[in-house]
Amino acid sequence: MEHVTIVTGAASGIGRAAAELFAERGSRVIAVDLKAPTWVDGEQVIGLAGDMSDEGCCRDMVAAATVTFGRLDAAILNAGIAGSRPWADPDAVDYFDRVVAVNLRGVALGIREAAPAIAASGGGAIVATASTSGFGGDPNNWAYNASKAGVINLIRGAAIDFGVKGVRINAVAPGPVETGMTEGLTAHPKVHDAMRRRIVLQRWGQPKELAEAMWFLASPAASFITGVTLPVDGGLSASAGHFDLPEA
């Protein structure tokens, strides 16, 4: 039987790696991003343009799965935006609204549309992308911190509501991963290295390592796991942060 997955934020970084991995392992993928991803082949992976903060986009992506392939088995709700803002910045309130609209509302709308379709296909899983920035705070990152903390509790509530319908709902919490989102940080060797030193494994993560965790949580191997956020962070969240970590 065909296996069908929606991946949002699939044009780059973690979303692209997830879409590629799921396709490689035999799933048909609807790859959603603000501009339809150009790397898709139009057969195994179909590109769709849309803004995840918009209900219409969430309806369209689910329809793309159910109309084109007749079913939906998994949704990887990964689209997100980052960037810090001082509280006093003139556009701070608009910025907060946009970050929450994409990172939190986008996941809520995605679950609202995808979960019933997955249930109607006999059950499956949703994986959202939270962040270690949802476990604690970062300087001037209050909007992002709030949006990602929201995802962590959103998926608990959603897991309760859709569990009996056969839909497991979990999240991954990436630590620092080298993607388009973090280019501004990785371009500065000092910043890149300072962040590396806070990670137990003493290196940044790669998009594929997140894709593998998403694959696991979406797969039958995780059949008794729902409502959890799995840190995929090289141990960043394992440290209380009081002491410098051992270096290799």
- The end-to-end CA distance of the chain, in Å, is 47
Q: Based on CB atoms, which residue is closest to ligand NAD, 79 or 108?
A: 79
C-alpha span between 209 and 177 (Å, rounded): 9
75-94: contacts with ligand NAD (CB under 6 A): 78-82
Residues near ligand NAD (CB under 6 A), total: 28
Interaction of residue 15 with ligand NAD, rule CB under 6 A: yes
Indicate whether 230 belongs to the interface with ligand NAD (CB under 6 A): no
144 classed as catalytic:
yes
C-beta of 21 vs 121, nearer to ligand NAD: 21
Q: Which of 83, 122, 157, 180 binds ligand NAD (CB under 6 A)?
A: 180
Q: Is 99 helix (H, G, I), strand (E, B) or coil?
A: helix
- Of 144, 162, 204, 215, the catalytic one is 144
The first and second tokens of residue 232, run together, are 């995929």
Provide the 8-state DSSP code for 246: P
Helices (H), the chain: 13-24, 55-68, 92-100, 106-120, 142-163, 183-186, 189-196, 207-218
Sign of CA dihedral 51, 54, 57, 62: positive
Catalytic site residues? 144
Tell me which residues touch ligand NAD (CB under 6 A).
8-9, 11-15, 33-34, 51-53, 78-82, 102, 106, 129, 131, 174, 176-177, 179-182
